[in-house]
Amino acid sequence: ETGVTQTPRHLVMGMTNKKSLKCEQHLGHNAMYWYKQSAKKPLELMFVYSLEERVENNSVPSRFSPECPNSSHLFLHLHTLQPEDSALYLCASSIGLAGRETQYFGPGTRLLVL
Amino acid sequence: AQSVTQLDSQVPVFEEAPVELRCNYSSSVSVYLFWYVQYPNQGLQLLLKYLSGSTLVKGINGFEAEFNKSQTSFHLRKPSVHISDTAEYFCAVHLVQGAQKLVFGQGTRLTINP
């Protein structure tokens, strides 16, 4: 596979469930990101990892827990979510954290919380 | 902190007509500017970016954008659109120095009618 892949592509979960979103990048990049895309709102940066260390946590509720075991993989662990957490969750990667770097996005996981 | 305003949430255009998607940003310091495109059921893909130098930037698929520092704008243009250009377009800004965060506008949905 090439680029940035995300699984699953669709997820329906109840508010008491625990699930995980997975992202994998095949580009040799050192930085990875989680974004939330809700209808009629700008993309919201959630977390940033550089060389497996979290460098940004953009005031995200603790019911979202990221994990970056190596520079190619990024997870978002979900528990006790709320209906307002329903959104498209996008993963991205870049060569480094410099602002000039292009971010490469996966296709997203569309999450519905019932 | 930087911010981005995309003035039009939806732009309908006939095929082969020209189009301009407007983007204004707010920042007290130097910025890098980006346009990303999101096709249906896909992640975001870079169209073009302004880092420095010439204010007219050419991107993929025949798109171009012009950086206007005095008007703090970075409008996207294409002289003749195609049905395949139907997508959502996002303008984004990143500080040259400071917070390592790409901030997105709310997006403009471009619909091409035959």
Q: What is the pLDDT of residue A90?
A: 97
Residue A69 has pLDDT above 70, yes or no: yes
The radius of gyration of chain A's CA atoms, rounded to the nearest angstrom, is: 13
Classify A108 as helix, strand or coil: coil
CA-nearest of A96, A95, A61, A78 to A22 is A78
Sort out which chain A residues have CB atoms less than 8 A from B107's CB and list them.
42
Across the interface, of B41, B100, B104, the residue whose CB is closest to A99 is: B100
Classify A72 as helix, strand or coil: coil
Give the integer Cα–Cα distance in Å for A63 and A93. Answer: 23
Check CB contact under 8 Å for A99 and B4: no
Tokens of A64: 């979202």
Give the integer Cα–Cα distance in Å for B45 and B38. Answer: 6
Q: Please give the mean pLDDT across all residues of chain A.
A: 92
Half-sphere exposure of B67 (CA within 13 A, CB side): 20
CB contact set of A98 (below 8 Å; sequence gap of 6+): none
Check residue A52 and give left, alpha or beta (phi > 0: left; psi -120 to 50: alpha). Answer: left
CB contact set of B61 (below 8 Å; sequence gap of 6+): B47, B78, B85
Model confidence pLDDT, tens digit, residues B26-62: 988 899 999 999 999 889 999 999 999 999 999 999 9
Residue A1 has pLDDT above 70, yes or no: no
Distance from CA of B79 to the nearest CA of A (A): 25
Give the integer Cα–Cα distance in Å for B1 and B8. Answer: 22
Give the integer Cα–Cα distance in Å for A51 and B32. Answer: 23
Give the integer Cα–Cα distance in Å for A61 and B79. Answer: 44
Q: Is B32 on the interface with A (CB under 8 A)?
A: yes
Tokens of A2: 């090439």
Q: What is the pLDDT of residue A19?
A: 95
Whether B27 contacts B95, CB under 8 Å: yes
- Name the band, by pLDDT with cuts 50, 70 and 90, for residue A57: confident
Alpha helices in chain A (DSSP H): none
Q: What is the pLDDT of residue B38?
A: 95
Percent of chain A with pLDDT over 70: 99
Distance from CA of B23 to the nearest CA of A (A): 13
Model confidence pLDDT, tens digit, residues B60-80: 999 999 999 999 999 999 999
Whether A61 contacts A76, CB under 8 Å: no
Q: Which DSSP symbol is given to A1?
A: -
